[in-house]
Amino acid sequence: MTKRIKHGVVAAAAFVLMGAADAAAQNVANANVTATVTVAGRARLDVSATDIAFLDADPTTVPSIQADVTLNIQAQVRTTAGSAVTLTVQAGGDFTAGGGANIGIGNLTWTTTGAGYAAGTAATTAVSVGSWTGPGARNGSQTYFLANSWDYAPGTYTTTLSYTLTAP
């Protein structure tokens, strides 16, 4: 009986040693994966209002009428670091009213706030409202003014102002 117990203990010890040898002999394999992302150039322009109005006033006491709202502008671009970014506005024509009356677009001016934004005078060609270099979000505001005159014929005048944000 004693031999039998010794034989069982030796067999168990051999099994434990064989299991340890198998664990030490494991093979390892590695693999690499390349992750790629494509980032496209992008531009987004947000202007806080779609309509502005100038309330009638006496030209003698109010030579320049301020628009009823100030436009908050956010120009966002994704472009390369050294690229020129521009924001322009272009009038569709003079202010016109029924019956052919008009107010020259050059009577419309603006002031701005915000880094890179610029004051200017409206025209039927693109006029700079702002310019920057490289990517980012640029926040500013624009307030329009209309020169007031006794020479304007009574009526309701309109024009369209088109903004363009450009980045390569």
Q: What is the pLDDT of residue 98?
A: 87
Q: Is residue 6 part of a domain?
A: no
Q: What is the pLDDT of residue 22?
A: 60
Q: Is residue 33 part of a domain?
A: no
Residue 156 pLDDT greater than 80, yes or no: yes
Q: Is residue 81 part of a domain?
A: yes
Half-sphere exposure of 36 (CA within 13 A, CB side): 2
Kindly give the pairing relationship between strand 95-96 and strand 84-91: unpaired
Q: Domain range for residue 83?
A: 42-166
pLDDT band at 148; cut points 50, 70, 90? very high
| Prediction pTM value | 0.80
Say if residues 73 and 142 touch (Cβ distance below 8 Å).
Answer: yes
Q: What is the pLDDT of residue 8?
A: 53
Q: How far apart are CA 138 and CA 140, in angstroms?
A: 7
Q: Tens digit of pLDDT for each residue in 56-112?
A: 999 999 999 999 999 999 999 999 999 999 999 999 999 999 888 999 999 999 999
CB atoms within 10 A of CB 85: 22
Q: What is the pLDDT of residue 57?
A: 97
Residue 17 pLDDT greater than 80, yes or no: no
Average pLDDT over residues 4-25: 54
The count of structural domains within the chain is 1
Q: Tens digit of pLDDT for each residue in 24-60?
A: 678 999 999 999 998 888 999 999 999 999 999 999 9
Residue 5 pLDDT greater than 60, yes or no: no
Q: How far apart are CA 141 and CA 73, in angstroms?
A: 6
Q: Is residue 16 part of a domain?
A: no
CATH of the domain at 93: 2.60.40
Q: Is residue 14 part of a domain?
A: no
Instruction: Identify which has the larger pLDDT, 14 or 134.
Output: 134
Half-sphere exposure of 68 (CA within 13 A, CB side): 9
